[in-house]
Amino acid sequence: MSRWTAADIPNQSGRTAIVTGANTGLGFETAATLAARGARVVLAVRSLDKGKQAAARISQDNPGAEVELQELDLGSLASVRSAATQLRSAYERIDLLINNAGVMYPPKSTTADGFELQFGTNHLGHFALTGLLLERMLPVAGSRVVTVSSVGHRIRAAIHFDDLHWERGYSRVGAYGQSKLANLLFTYELQRRLAPHGTTISVAAHPGASNTELTRHLPRLVAAASALLEPWMQSAELGALPSLRAATDPDVTGGQYIGPDGVGELRGYPRPVASSAQSHDVELQQRLWAISEELTGVGYPMG
């Protein structure tokens, strides 16, 4: 089987892609590659200053690239709503929404709305953003929602409906696992709801073990151990390939999960991979969907 690389990405001219967390790491590489293939790319970032620097780098490497900025703080529903309003006004059609931004293993903290930071940012922020932008995607044949999960969806992962925000005790690893499992539950339930419309699909991806700024919150001892593993970790450029394949490969279908093909899915080239049995629990998907609508106040246009 041939290895899928960025060279396999079809021409993206005429397509509009929104990438969250696009100023650094996986999001930057994803946005830069899409821009190089002709897409108009919107960098949805919390810091406009860092976003401007990222946009300048992309434009410098790809003269004529269409790169635009949108301020977005996924840890604030007010910011998500404001950004969605501006994006709907600016773009009549959205072909790709890549829910890439995330936080990993921070000290216990909450979003502006009081949600546990990892669940609030990684899942609820993207749940709200997607729901608010779908009206610009549903009429677009071939449009895709790509949500980035992690091998962490298997590690101490469960949806703690009795304590979603870890108020009775906090585990960095457990909270991250919950948020990444939520990304997959969301992807699969979204695909089920989109399927009758036949235009937009929902796909998940994960980058394996990639060397990015996502690890900046690791506890000191874990960070030291992680540093020893860096030679075996893949670059952000390679780590972005699963998201890029999920977004652009004509053979990808709704509900697929794309990850590295190496041992343990930690590194390698992107291919369809399996997620945990728990992530395919339909009752769990629907229960999470219902509480996500309740917490964010966002309903979806297809019901």
Strand partners, 205: 148, 258
> What is the signed CA dihedral for 56, 131, 141, 67, rounded to 10 degrees?
-10
For CA atoms 260, 262, 265, 266, the dihedral sign is: negative
Q: Letter for the amino acid at 43?
A: L
| CA-based nearest residue to 213, from 194, 235, 180 | 235
Count the Cβ atoms, other than its own, within 10 Å of residue 228. Answer: 8
The answer to whether 97 and 41 are in contact (CB under 8 A) is no
Catalytic residue among 91, 105, 170, 176: 176
Q: How far is CA 54 from CA 28, 51, 59, 79, in A?
A: 7, 5, 9, 21
Name the H helices within 74-154. Answer: 77-90, 117-118, 126-133
| DSSP string for 23-37 | TSHHHHHHHHHHHHT
Q: Is 176 among the catalytic positions?
A: yes
Tell me which residues are annotated as active site: 176
